Amino acid sequence: MKRVYAGLGLAILLTPLTALAFPFGGQISTVVPCYNQAIFARLGAPRGGDYIWTPSTKTYQFGPPSFSGQWLLGLASAPYYCVVSIEPVIVWPGIAIDMMGSSGSSAPTINQLLHSTTQTTATPAANPTYKPPTTTQSPLSVQPTTIGHVVISEVFYSVDTAHGSRPLNQWVELFNGSPGYIDVSGWTIENASQQTVLPSGLNLAPAQFLVIVATSQTTAHWNIPSSAKVTSLNSPAIDGGLGLNSDTVILKSPNGVTVDAVSWGSNTTAFKPSVPASLSGYSLARKGFSQDTNTANDWAGSATPSPGK
């Protein structure tokens, strides 16, 4: 570690400084891969803040930022943007890393990450299948999501004839509002009388949607973007179906902790008062992803359901 920093310090002294460049350094608390081939890293003391590794960063030993707990040291300069999501467009601001060295401590294993807490920040180093995307996007001034955790984002239970029949064509949508990868495998979705366990292989990227359908035929009724994940339960979304006039959807982690919930009609399990029941063909949808007040004010009926976006 000392040798890495000593070598980097010498490189900094011998390299002409970019205009306005300044030294930074600290331990990563959050690391997120960006769609525009960059990597967002939030650092703690002594010179912390939000920094972004870019494809043009001069990177020394141990490569780009890769896991929480890793130490970074180097020079940074101009504002830069991490495109966290392209649908919806979510962009996180930071400062571009001009040159950087890092510590080489090994990352925790994926099992340690997934079982250490109910909401886990996974990283490229802990995700051996991760490959930086090749798609590039122009930076946009869009506020980052601050909701902070996985939420239920839309529920389509009042199925109209244009979209199938109930209960087989009902669906529930989740949104990963956290800054890291979250594996929701083994989580449960409950209504007033039943519960369903989500299958394995549901590792969600930051700002990614998951559409939970009762049967794969449901997807034929909708234009679900490829950026979203879809899982079919081969049974009603909640065993027995979701009630039209009154019901609830509760999302729980494997250890039984309630992560999010919504209720409508006369059911006050999640909210009191609850969200008004939907009209036929309407969905219940979150108004946005900037906050979660855990009240009915977060929700509204939508005449244009939009699974996966």
Total number of domains in the chain: 2
* Whether residues 68 and 177 fall in one domain: no
Residue 254 predicted with pLDDT over 80:
yes
Residue 143 is assigned to a structural domain of this protein: no
Copy the structure tokens of residue 263: 């209720």
Copy the structure tokens of residue 90: 């979510």
Q: Look up the pTM and report it.
A: 0.56
**Residue pLDDT, tens place only, 46-55:** 888 899 999 9
Domain that holds residue 179: 150-302
Can you tell me the distance from the alpha carbon of 286 to that of 280, in angstroms, rounded to the nearest whole number? 18
Q: Which of 60, 92, 115 is the last residue of a domain?
A: 115
Residue 127 is assigned to a structural domain of this protein: no
* Whether residues 73 and 175 fall in one domain: no
DSSP per-residue codes, 194-240: -EEE--S--EEPTT-EEEEESSGGGGGGS---TTSEEEE-SS-SSTT
* Whether residues 161 and 298 fall in one domain: yes
* Whether residues 108 and 154 fall in one domain: no
* Whether residues 111 and 205 fall in one domain: no
Per-residue pLDDT at 215? 84
Residue 308 is assigned to a structural domain of this protein: no
Residue 284 predicted with pLDDT over 90:
yes
Cβ neighbours of residue 288 under 8 Å, at least 6 residues apart?
A: none
- Average of per-residue pLDDT across 156-163: 93
Q: How much is the mean pLDDT over the chain?
A: 79
* Whether residues 24 and 87 fall in one domain: yes
Per-residue pLDDT at 6? 39
Residue 63 predicted with pLDDT over 50:
yes
Question: Over the range 205-227, which residues count as b (16 or more CB within 10 Å of their CB) and which as e?
Answer: bbbbbbbbbbbeebbebbebeeb
**Residue pLDDT, tens place only, 3-31:** 333 344 433 333 344 457 899 998 888 88
Copy the structure tokens of residue 305: 């359901």
- Whose CA is closest to 50, among 109, 96, 90, 89? 96
Can you tell me the distance from the alpha carbon of 111 to that of 244, in angstroms, rounded to the nearest whole number? 39
* Whether residues 86 and 167 fall in one domain: no
Residue 62 is assigned to a structural domain of this protein: yes
Q: Which of 59, 91, 115 is the last residue of a domain?
A: 115
Can you tell me the distance from the alpha carbon of 231 to that of 215, in angstroms, rounded to the nearest whole number? 9
Residue 241 is assigned to a structural domain of this protein: yes
* Whether residues 297 and 185 fall in one domain: yes
Can you tell me the distance from the alpha carbon of 224 to that of 173, in angstroms, rounded to the nearest whole number? 11
* Whether residues 170 and 223 fall in one domain: yes
Per-residue pLDDT at 306? 93
- Whose CA is closest to 174, among 188, 160, 162, 164? 188
Residue 72 is assigned to a structural domain of this protein: yes
CATH label of the domain that carries residue 240: 2.60.40.1260
CATH label of the domain that carries residue 102: 2.40.50.140
* Whether residues 218 and 281 fall in one domain: yes
Residue 120 is assigned to a structural domain of this protein: no
* Whether residues 159 and 293 fall in one domain: yes
Please state the length of the chain.
309
78-87, 92-101, 275-284: which has the minimum mean pLDDT? 78-87
Residue 259 is assigned to a structural domain of this protein: yes
* Whether residues 90 and 172 fall in one domain: no
Q: Which of 67, 95, 115 is the last residue of a domain?
A: 115
